[in-house]
Structure 1
Amino acid sequence: MKALFYSINGIGLGHLSRTSAIAKQMIDDGGADIKFFTKSDFNLFLEDMGVPFVKSPPVGIGDDSEAFIHLVNEYLPKVIIYDNFFPHGGLLYANSRGIRNVLILRNKKKGFIEKELSDYGDVYAKFDLFVVTEDGLKDRLPESVLERSIFTGPIIRESVRDNNVAKRYGIKEDDFVVCFTCGGGSNSKRLPVFNAVKGAWEELKGKIDGLKFIVLRGPFSGDFPESEGIIVKEFEKDMTGLLAHCDIVISHAGYNTVNEIILSKKPSILIPVDSKDDCQLDRAMNVEKTGIGWCLKEPDSKHIASLVKEFHDKPRVREGIRKAFESINVVPGNKEVSDAILRLLKEERDVLKLGKSCNNNCVCCEELGNKIGIEK
């Protein structure tokens, strides 16, 4: 039962983190044979699971159809899972070979998904299953997509129960731990936030006993030098395990981080970063509306520091957030997504190599294969 994941990140970890969580669940549930197609440089998720991967060429997302088709023809998976983005040529080729195609969707800015479906409706028609993992999309999808969709909880890399997390970070019982996650994406958009958090540290040091800042800078190259009370790491594989030892989180409002924060029941100061498709502002405002954190539309050192200090100093603030979390029950969708994909894997359906008649008895795939040099 072969499954292939198309998990193409920009410079962040989001896609690889989500898809590796699904892959782990599938391996645990059914022993699926899994391979990844990725260009991420953070492949420890896959190496730890013993999952093989093929690196995409250094081209833009969606411009890697040729390399992807070569892999599909070589590996012959029964199902391909794409996280939000997909190479159109690769999808069309896989569909014609009898391969099942699954697209994972999260919420997008208003108008983005609508335009995609309007412009490329014939391409989206090739998907066998849509997995919707975030609220806000159901009323925006056409019936043709809804009838092939399942709606699940968020995909979250749950804790690997590393009992050494506190030891690795030197966290003591009486420390007050602030975790700052920088996320991926454009460095230019993240630099103001990065600098504001550095400024907040300067405002707070000496004012809170046992203050410790843990900075997870991801692929961001900003300078946050380690000193007493500051620990800087590139990333943390066991994010929810680390958050269990933190008091408050400062972050952007990316899908993964917000869900990890909510699952861990930790208050957060969210500073959304604008992007062409992701709706970070909506996500951050929803956190503030539910009373479990704050949304800052602009990065401001003094404002960040004052919120951290208020949370530390005022029991009524901490109690209010604790009560707000009581009404929130996050059930990760990992298991439900795994079950749906495994059902597709178990279906009796032939996967055809290049040169055999495809489902539609056309020659488009053979022509495409000849064009990119795949041998029959």
Structure 2
Amino acid sequence: MSKRRVFFYVQHLLGIGHLARASRIAKALSVDGFDVTMVTGGAPVPGFPGEGLATIALPPVTAGDKGFSGLSDADGNPVTDAFQQHRKDLLIEALHASKPDVVIIEAFPFGRRQMRFELLPLLDAIAAMERRPLVATSLRDILQERVKPGRAEETVELVKAHFDLVLVHGDPAFARLEETFPLAGEIAQKIAYTGLVAPPPPAEANEKFDIVVSAGGGAVGKDLISAALGAATVLPKTLRWCLITGPNLPQSDFDALAAAAPDGVSLFRFRQDFAGLLAGARLSVSQAGYNTVCDILRARCGSLLIPFTAGGETEQSTRAARLERLGLAGVLPEEGITSKRLARDIEAMLVRPKPEIPPLDLSGAARTATILREELQQREFRPSRSA
């Protein structure tokens, strides 16, 4: 039997979390025997989607600002109608060339409404195919709760009309979809929980640091890195620090931070061995993005979380608060971050015992592959059962 073909669309706009999670899932699908084509629509990120995956890169777009209002092209200019039409045509052309058995659309229609100009035509093109593929949306476990009236109802209508599966990449014992999407009951029969999409257990990196500070993609992490540099001058000089700014931090900002780094502090844009660094660290200091938290849980590293809240974002605050209640993290509000406050909280976290093995399902990538394979098999047998 030929390999099942997966067409996986992912659009990252500000950070790299959506791309990183989708890449982990795509790798697991490939290991499971699927032939995966990833369609990416954001700025290129070194190391992603990863080796062994076919990739189609659409002309990149990014968020116009931290509040995700508007779209900009690679040069920072607002996207035009002609630009959108070109992307839409490329996307639908790629769909027909792929002839997929499965289409996965990351986030939409629960998020990424900015991409409706190409995703609604994509769904129509899928519906018109002679051999319609299985269609799934790929969601993180906690959604943004501040939405405009009517959007939840529209989301449900799109799911009912176009999607076979709603893959929720979380452990229902930690977070259930209806907690941040109240209309989930209307599509309950399509929801499948995969577990959290965490990496495999990491080996410790060759370098070892006491404190690893990371700012995700780096687009909004300058204040965290600056505060960490200040905290490093207050805390004992024997502590070894690793500060990872993220690849999206402007070069001028990176250069200024590097010039201010005291002895004992190493500054990097990106570390391929990030998970291994956490495994050997005493404490991680980071935002509370999905992928970073999964890395921390897998590494069983102490964690101080500083949730991203700009533009009314609620997802990271919700995740951080739940982890704090489980005793798996400390939390410092983003608006209260100063070098002095950060140093105090780091000092308090360093004396806490290492977290216990988290009571959460971290096998989400592999489980996603299993769910899709089982659904495809059920599709094959349905005609014979109804005969």
How far off is 1:285 after superposition?
A: 1.6
2:297 corresponds to 1:262 = yes
SS in 2 for 1:147: helix
Q: Could you list the runs of 5+ residues in structure 2 that have no partner in the other structure?
A: 64-70, 72-83, 110-118, 381-387
Give the one of 186, 195, 199 matched to 1:157: 199
Q: C-alpha displacement at 1:148, in angstroms?
A: 0.6
Q: Does 1:273 find its partner at 2:308?
A: yes
List aligned pairs for 1:114-193, cutoff 5 A: 115-125=150-160, 126-134=162-170, 135-139=175-179, 140-159=182-201, 161=203, 165-166=205-206, 170-171=207-208, 177-184=210-217, 186-187=219-220, 190-193=221-224
Amino acid at match of 2:369: S
User: What aligned pairs does 1:64-79 form with structure 2 within 5 A after superposition?
Assistant: 64-79=87-102
In the TM superposition, residue 20 of structure 1 has moved relative to its aligned partner by 1.6
Deviations 1:44-87 (A, max 9, x none): 23342x21211111346895433211110111111111221362
Q: Which residue of the partner structure matches residue 92 of structure 1?
A: 124
Letter of the structure 2 residue corresponding to residue 150 of structure 1: A
Cα shift at 1:146: 1.1
Q: Show the 5 A alignment for 1:1-376.
A: 1-29=4-32, 31-38=33-40, 39-48=42-51, 50-59=52-61, 64-85=87-108, 87-97=119-129, 98-106=132-140, 107-112=142-147, 115-125=150-160, 126-134=162-170, 135-139=175-179, 140-159=182-201, 161=203, 165-166=205-206, 170-171=207-208, 177-184=210-217, 186-187=219-220, 190-204=221-235, 207-221=236-250, 222-223=253-254, 224-225=257-258, 228-274=263-309, 275-276=311-312, 279-297=315-333, 298-312=336-350, 314=351, 318-319=352-353, 322=355, 325-326=356-357, 328-346=359-377
| Pair 1:270–1:327, CA change in 2 (3 A) | closer
User: 1:202 Cα shift?
Assistant: 2.1
Pair 66,150 (structure 1): closer, same or farther in 2 beyond 3 Å: same
Instruction: Return closer, same or farther for 1:160/1:28 CA change in 2, 3 Å cut-off.
Output: farther
Change (3 A) 1:229 1:37: same
Flag the structure with more relative contact order, 1 or 2, with Cα contacts below 8 A and sequence separation at least 6: 1
Q: Distance in 2 between matches of 1:283 and 1:90?
A: 32
Bigger mean CA deviation after superposition, 251-260 or 236-245: 236-245
Residue 113 of structure 1, CA deviation: 9.3
Separation in 2, partners of 1:150, 1:123: 17
Letter in 2 for 1:44: G
Q: Shift of the alpha carbon at 1:301?
A: 1.1
Alignment deviations for residues 130-162 of structure 1 (CA, whole Å, 9 cap, x no partner): 01123141352433321111112111233564x
Q: What is the rounded CA distance, in whole Å, between the counterparts of 1:41 and 1:247 in structure 2? A: 32
Q: 1:342 to 1:270 in 2, by over 3 A?
A: same
CA drift of 1:2 comes to: 0.9
Amino acid at match of 2:192: I
CA contact (8 A) 1:178 1:246 kept: yes
Could you tell me whether the CA contact under 8 Å between 1:158 and 1:240 is conserved in 2? Answer: no
Q: Is the 8 A contact 1:7 1:83 kept in 2?
A: yes
**How far does the alpha carbon of each residue in 1:89-119 deviate from its partner, in whole angstroms, 9 at most, with x for none?**
2122223321221111221132539843313
- Tell me which residue corresponds to 1:370: none
Aligned match of 2:384: none
1:185 Cα shift? 7.0
Q: Give the drift of 1:340.
A: 1.4
Instruction: Assess, with a 3 A threshold, how the Cα gap between structure 1 residues 276 and 311 changes in structure 2: closer, same or farther.
Output: closer
Q: How many residues align?
A: 327
Residue equivalent to 2:114 = none
